[in-house]
Amino acid sequence: MTHNPASTRAQPGGTANIDTDSTEWFEVTGTMNSVLNDERIARALALLDNRIDPTIEEVFPALEERILAQALENVELAERRLREIQDLVGDLAVASSR
């Protein structure tokens, strides 16, 4: 087994050398990271009901940016709706509590 000092990775409690003659570890790790990333993206999109405003799609090139921009837009919309509901119902709630 050939070890390359440049491929040493710090581990809790010490260091471990990685066999640079084998790319299997890197392929598996890369695949696992890709799957985890895909799952996270899928979950984030599901939280947005798999909808992104076309304007946001035009402005932001990366999917992650689009997801965050849409989430922020949804929060701003919810805040506007909450304020409107408070204006509509707030007076009734105060009147009924008297």
Which tens digit of pLDDT belongs to each residue from 49-93?
999 999 999 999 999 999 999 999 999 999 999 999 999 998 776
Task: For residues 86 and 64, state if they share a domain.
Answer: yes
58 lies in the same domain as 92: yes
What is the structure's pLDDT at 28? 52
Domains held by the chain: number: 2
Residues 98 and 64 in one domain: yes
* Residue 53 near residue 72, CB atoms below 8 Å: no
Q: Which two tokens stand for residue 41?
A: 């993206």
Question: Could you tell me the sign of the dihedral formed by the alpha carbons of 10, 15, 16, 18, in that order?
Answer: positive
- 30 confidence band (pLDDT: 50, 70, 90): low
pTM over 0.75: no
Average pLDDT over all residues of the chain: 77
Residue 23 confidence (pLDDT) above 60: no
Residue 62 and residue 44 in contact, taking contact as beta carbons nearer than 8 Å: no
Structural domain that includes position 86: 53-98
SS3 call for 16? strand
